[in-house]
Structure 1
Amino acid sequence: MSLSFQCTGHIGILEITINLFNNILFPDNLLIFQGWNDVGFHGANDVSTPNIDALAYSGLILNSHYSEAICTPSRAALLTGKYPIHTGTQHGVIMEGAPWGLPLDQKLLPQYLNKLGYSSHAFGKWHLGYYRKEYTPTYRGFKTHYGFWNGYQDYFSHIVQFAPFEGFDMRRNMTVDWSSIGHYTTRLITKEIARVVRSHNASNPLFLYVAHLAVHAANYEVPLQAPQSSIDKFKHLEPVERRIYAAMLWELDQSLGKLVQEFKDKGILDDTIIVFLSDNGAATKGLHKNHGSNWPLKGEKITPWEGGLRTVSFVWSPILKRKKQVLNNLMHITDWLPTLFTAAGGNRNKLGDIDGVDQWDFLNGNSVSPRNEILHNIDDAYGYSALRSGEYKYVNGSAIFGHLDNWVGRLRNNSYPYDVSSIVGSVVNRITGDLEDILEIEGLRMNATVVCSKTGQRWGKVACRPMKRPCLFNIAEDPCERVDLWGRYPEKVAEFEEKLKTYRRSVTPPGNKRVESKANPCLHNNTWTDWADYD
C-alpha cells in the first residue's frame, strides 16, 4: 500500500489544540476519558455507555477528580506525578513537527513499575514528543507500543494533517504499520491489547497504558468518524454530529467490555486495578470540536474552568476495601503515580520530589483525604493562573482571550429514559455480578450528577471578568462557577495570590518549540517520524 502527498514548505502556526481523547491504564489497572456529561453515570441519557457505567457504579466514582486543561500537560502530569510547571509542559501541546518532548530527565510511571517486576506496554496516542527516538514510548519504560505519536489522526486512514503537512502515523514500536489502513483505530487498539494480554505470562505483574484516540476529533475534513453499523444504533439522535459522537463513545464502551472479558479469561481480573479517567474536558465548540458535553460545568477543553479541568474518573478493583460509593475528595491526575506505585507494593518515599499525593489508603477507607490543594496551572503564554484550595478556586485570566468561557453542551435529547437494564445486562456486569439493585444504581447516579445552585440562591449570579481582574468561587456550593465572590472575600483572594507567588518560584520555562520543515512527512516516506535522527 502506498500513499502520495504533495511536499510543501514550512508554515509558522500556533495551533490551539482542543482535543478529547481517551486513555486506558491498567498495571493490573486501566484508565480512559471523555467529557463530563458524556457518560450515563453523570446524568447523560442520549449516549449509551453501559460497560463504563457498570464499572463505575461497582467501584468508586471520583466526583472531584481534576486533570489538566489540555492533552500534553495531562499526559506529562500522569506519567511523572508532577505539575506541568515543573516539567515545562504547561503551555499548549507538542505540535506535529516541533523538536521537543517531555524532558528525558523525567522518570515515568512505567520505569518505576518495571523496578517492581512489571511488564509495561503502551497503546494508542503518545503526544509527548518523538523528534528523536529517545522521546518515544519504547525508550521511556514501555516494553512495547502500538499506536501513534501525534495528538490525533483519521480513524481509518491514520493520516495526520497539520497544515501544510500531512502524513501517516501508526506504528508498532518503531516500525510503521501500513497494514492498519482501512481499519478503525479504536478496534485496532482493542485487538492489540487483547493480543498482549493473551500472550502475557500471568505469573508476572502487567501494566498497560492505553490512550484511545476516541473520542477525539479526527482531521478537519471529517472530524467525527465511526463504523456505520455503530452510527445506525443512534438514528434517533439529532444533530447528526452528536449521533456520530455517540457511536464513537459506543465503540469505546464496547472496547472496555472486551478488555474486561480478556482479563477475566486470562484469570487476572481478580487482581486488577482499573482506573478510568479523562485528561481534560470535551471540546464542544473549539478547534477540533467533537460535540462532547461538559454540561452543566462552565468552559471546555483548554480553559481554566471546571468544564476543562474537572474530569470523568473512577477506580474499580476487587482488592479495594470500599466500593459502590461516590467520593467528593480532591484528587489530581498527578496522584495516580504515587497511588498506583503504592498499590503495586512500592515505597512512596522512593519517588523523590513529586507533586502527586498517595491516595491508596484513602481509597481503601483507612485515612482522611490527603489532598486539600491543586495547582491547576500557571500558563503565562496564554496569561492565566488557576488554583484550588479547600472549597475555593481562584482564576486570573483565561485561555485564548476568554473565547470559550461559556456554558455549552446542554443536551437537547436528554428526555430519553436512562436504560438501567443495559447496565445490569452489560458485559462488565455479567462478568463481575456486582449490580442487581436498580434503586442502588439510581442513587449512585443521582449522587454523581452535578447540581449548580446553592451559592446562586444566596447571592444571585455575579459575573466573572477574568481578563480584567481575578475571580473567586466556592466550588463546593457553586460547581458551575456562576457566582464570583472576589468582592466579598478580599482576604481569601490575597491568600491565593500569596500561594501562587510560592509556586512561581519553582516554575520551569515552557519547552515549546516552533515546527521544523525538516519534519515534513513527504521527506520521510510520507510518515511522521523521528526526523532529527536522520539529519
Structure 2
Amino acid sequence: MVHTVTAISLVSLVTLGYLSWNMVRPLVGDSLSLQHGANATAERDDINTITAIPNSTSYSTSNSCATNTTSTNASSTSCTSTNTSSSYSPSSAGVPARSRGPALANPRSSTPRPHIVFILADDQGYHDVGYHGAEIRTRALDRLSAQGVRLENYYVQPVCTPTRSQLLSGRYQIHTGLQHSIIRPRQPSCLPLHLPTLPERLRDAGYATHMVGKWHLGFCRPECLPTRRGFDSFLGSLAGSGDHFTHEACDGPAACGLDLRVGEHVARAHGGRYSTEMYAARAVRLVEEHDAAHGPLFLYVAFQAVHTPLQAPPRYTERYRRIANQARRRYAGMLSCLDEAVHNITEALHRRGLYNNSVLVYSSDNGGQPLSGGSNWPLRGRKGTYWEGGVRALGFVHSPLLRLKGRVSRALVHVSDWFPTLLALAGAGADTTTADPASPALDGHDVWRALSEGAPSPRTEILHNIDPLYNRARGGSRAAGHGLWNTGVQAALRQGDWKILTGDPGYGDWVPPQTWPAFRGSWWALERAAPAWSSGGGGGVGGGRGGVAEPQTLWLFNLSADPFERYDVSARHPDVVRHLLGRLAEYARGAVPVRFPADDSRAHPALQGGVWGPWLLPRDGGARRRGEGQPGGGSGSGVFSGAGAAAAGGRSLAATAAYCRLCKLRSYLRKLRAGRTAAPSGS
C-alpha cells in the first residue's frame, strides 16, 4: 500500500511539473505563416458548385505574453501580436439583403452596430489547441486568439443540447426543462417555443440572421426549426451527430435517415461533401453576399467537427502520420480542417470590408471525449461529466472593437452570458425580466466590459446543472447533505473559487497526452482517480481512506488553489458546503419540470421518406400536443412534475416519473457504449 501511494505521488509530481511548464510557457511563441488561398472557398447559386476564391494573404505574426497577478474574476495575461504582412482584396460578390433600415449606432460607442460571427466547435477538448500545448496545428485559432482575448475561466455544459439551448436562450437548463441529457431525434421535444431566442431578438433589431451547421435543439414540428426560431436562412443538420460525408444520422442501428437541410427543405443532392468544408463555404458565401447598407450581420456557424464519427479528407489526416493512435490521428485531421475553415471565414470578413466592425466569438460546446481522440489535459473528466474537463471550454473573442487586445482573461464567463452580451452590443438590450410568467429571468450577464476592458466580471456564480432524472448515486441522502440537499441528486455549482458536486458527476479520471500511443498502458492506470469512499474521503489522487462503506456523493474544490480537482476539501470546510448546498436547494425550488419525453415511433425516418424531419404537424392538435416543447407540457411524456422540489426535499422520483423500464435500459446501454459504466481494462 505504501509503495502504491508513493508511486502515485511520484507520478502526480511529474505530472504537475509537466503542467507547470505548459501553463507558464508563452502562449504563442512561433511565427505564423498562413497560406490558405487554395482552400478558401465560396458557394454560388448551387451549393454543389464550389469555386476557389483567390487569396494571397500571408501572415507573419509574432506574439509575446506577460502574466499579471491573477485572481478569480479580474486578471489577465497580456499578449502583443504584430501582423507584419497582410493584404486584402475586396470581393465584388454580393446580393442585396432584404430591407431592414439603417444600421443604427451602437449605444456603447459612436460606431455602427457590429457584425457578429459566433463559431461553435463540437466536442473540442480543452487541450486541443496549439496555445494549450496540443500537438495539433491550429495556426488560425492561435493567431486570432492571440490578437484578441483568450478566455481561461470560461464554462459551457457537458453535452451538446444544454450548451446550445443556453447560448440561444440565455437561461439555465432548470429554466427551460432541458435538465436531462440531450434531445434525441425521436423525442417530441424542442427548445421551449415561448422563450425568445438570440436570433429572434437580433432580427427584430434589424440584423440579418443566418445559421450554418448543427442545430440539435429539437425538430419534432415545424415551429421548432431554425428558420422558425429567428434565422433567415439555414444549411445544416437537425440531429446531434451523423456521417460527415453522407450526412446520414442514426438513432440506434435500425433508425437511420438523411439529416441535411437547406432552409426547411431536404438537401438530397449533397452527399459526398465533407461537412466542415461545406459549412465553411456556405458561411463564406453569406459573408460575401451580405450588404451592410441594409443592416448588420449575425452569422452562427455550428460546426459538426470534431464530433464522431471521426472522419476527415486524407489530405488533413496525412499531416499527422506520426500520431500512433488512430482516433487521435483522425481527430487531429478534423481539427486542422476546422482551423482552416475558421481562417477562411475571417478572410471573407476582410474581403467584404466587414472586419473592422465585427465581433468574432469562438467556443467549444463541451469537453472532449478521450475515447474518441479528444483531450482535456490537464483537467479532470471528459465530455458528459461535471468535472472541469467536461464543462471548462476553449473560447476566445477576436475583434477590432476590443479596447484591450492580445491578452488572457480569467474573468468568470458562462455560455449563457453571450445572449445578453451580444444583444447589448447590438443595441437591442437584454431584458432581465419578462412579462410572461412562464419565461424566467435571464441567467446570463453582460460581460463585454470584462472582456473588452478587463473589468471584473459581473458573474460570480454558475449553476452547472441540477438533474433529478439522472440515476441517483448510491449512498446519497439528505443527512449527508446537512439536511439541506439530497446528495444522491446529480448537481454542480460554482460560486467564486468554490465548486461543489453531488450525486454522480461522471467519469472522473485525468488522461495525460502520454496515453495516446497505448491507451490502456501504465499512465492510464496510475492517473486513475483513487476510489473515493465515504467518511469524507478525498476525491483526488491518493485521497482514498480505506474502510469500504458507501460511495462518495459530495465533493468540494477550491479551483484557484486546485484547478485540476485533485483534492476534495469538503471535510475541512463544512460551512462552505452547507452554504452551497443551500444555494442548490434555492435553485431547485425555482426549477421547471424536466422535459424528457419517451421516443415517438412516428418519427422514424422510414415513415418520413428516409429523412429526419418534423413529424408532428400543427393540424395534429390534441392533448398529447398541448404544451409540446414547453416545460411541463404533455401527458405521460416523461415530464417530472415538481422535480425541483423533489431534488431539494429528497423525495423519491418514482412517484412522479413516467419513466419506463425500456427507457432505463436504453440509458444504461448508452452509458455502457460511452465507457461510463465500466473502466477500461489494464491489459
Common fold by TM > 0.5: yes
Secondary structure, aligned partner of 1:32: strand
How far apart are residue 368 of structure 1 and its match? 2.3
- 2:504 paired residue among 366, 385, 398: 398
Question: 1:102, 1:135 within 8 Å by CA — same for their partners in 2?
Answer: yes
Partner residue of 2:469? 381
Give the match's secondary structure for 1:478. coil
Q: Which amino acid aligns with 1:361?
A: R
**1:77-116 equivalence runs, <5 A:** 77-116=166-205
Equivalent residues, number: 453
> What letter corresponds to residue 302 of structure 1 in structure 2?
G
CA-CA distance at 1:27 after TM superposition: 4.6
Distance 1:114 1:524 in 2: 31
What code does the residue aligned with 2:469 have? A
| Percentage of identical aligned residues | 38
How much has 1:461 moved relative to structure 2?
4.9
Q: How does 1:21-32 map to 2 (within 5 A)?
A: 27-32=115-120
**Cα distance in 2 for residues equivalent to 1:475 and 1:508:** 30
CA distance in 2, matches of 1:339, 1:256: 22
Q: In structure 2, do the counterparts of structure 1 residues 277 and 392 end up closer, same or farther at CA, with 3 Å as the change threshold?
A: same
Structure 1 residue ranges, 4+ long, deviating more than 6 angstroms after superposition = none
Give the superposition deviation at 1:29.
2.5
The reply on whether 1:517 has 2:620 as its aligned counterpart is: no
**RMSD of the alignment, in Å?**
1.9
SS in 1 for 2:120: coil
* Deviation of 1:178 (Å): 1.2
Corresponding residue for residue 307 of structure 2: 216
- Counterparts of 2:397 and 2:583, CA distance in 1: 31
Which amino acid in structure 2 is aligned with residue 405 of structure 1? G
Larger deviation, residues 342-351 vs 266-275? 342-351
Q: Distance in 2 between matches of 1:490 and 1:27?
A: 48
Tell me: CA distance 1:386–1:225, structure 2 relative to 1, closer, same or farther (3 Å): same
For the pair 1:529 / 2:613, whether they are aligned, the reply is: yes
- Counterpart code for 1:330: L
Match of 1:183 in 2: 273
Contact 1:157 1:181 in 2 (8 A): yes
1:409, CA displacement in angstroms?
Answer: 4.9
Q: Distance in 2 between matches of 1:305 and 1:158?
A: 32
Partner of 1:19: none
Within-5 A mapping of 1:491-502: 491-502=575-586
Provide the C-alpha distance between the structure 2 equivalents of 1:466 and 1:256, rounded to a whole number of angstroms: 48
Q: 8 Å contact 1:66–1:333 — kept in the other structure?
A: yes
Aligned partner (choices 405, 424, 428) of residue 323 of structure 1: 405
Secondary structure of residue in 2 paired with 1:213: coil
Match of residue 339 from structure 1 = 421
Map Cα deviations across residues 411-454 of structure 1 (whole Å, 9 max, x no partner). Answer: 4579xxxxxxxxxxxxxxxxxxxxxxxxxxxxxxxxxxxxxxxx
Q: What is the match of residue 646 of structure 2?
A: none
Q: 1:25-424 counterparts in 2 under 5 A?
A: 27-33=115-121, 34-44=124-134, 46-163=135-252, 164-203=254-293, 204-218=295-309, 224-285=310-371, 290-349=372-431, 352=434, 353-365=441-453, 367-382=455-470, 383-399=489-505, 402=506, 404-411=507-514
Structure 1 residues 359 and 408: CA distance shift in structure 2, 3 A = same
Q: 1:27 to 1:337 in 2, by over 3 A?
A: farther
Cα separation, 2, equivalents of 1:366 and 1:55: 18
Give me the whole-angstrom Cα distance separating, in 1, the residues matched to 2:461 and 2:432. Answer: 23
Q: CA deviation at 1:466?
A: 10
Aligned AA (1:209): Y
| Structure 2 match to 1:462 | 543
Using a 3 Å threshold, how does the CA distance of structure 1 residues 234 and 351 change in structure 2: closer, same or farther? farther
C-alpha distance in 2 between matches for 1:332 and 1:369: 11
User: Structure 1: how far apart are the matches of 2:183 and 2:449?
Assistant: 35
Q: Which residue of the partner structure matches residue 437 of structure 1? A: none
**Inter-partner Cα distance in structure 1 for 2:551 and 2:139:** 41
Cα deviation 1:283-341 (Å, max 9, x = unaligned)? 123xxxx2100011111111110000000011110011011111112110000011111
Give unmatched runs, 5+ long, in structure 1: 1-25, 219-223, 415-458
8 Å contact from structure 2 (residues 119, 303) kept in 1: no
Greater C-alpha Rg:
2
Question: What TM-score, normalized by structure 1, do the two folds share?
Answer: 0.82
Tell me, yes or no, if the aligned pair for 2:432 and 2:442 is still in contact at 8 Å.
no
| Aligned-residue offset at 1:351 | 6.2
Cα deviations across residues 77-110 of structure 1 (Å, max 9, x unaligned)?
0000000110011110001111111110011001
Q: Is the 8 A contact 1:30 1:208 kept in 2?
A: yes
Distance in 2 of aligned mates of 1:334 and 1:82: 6
Give 2:279's aligned amino acid.
I
Deviations 1:236-275 (A, max 9, x none): 1111211111000011000001001111110001111011
Task: Give the corresponding residue for 2:567.
Answer: 483
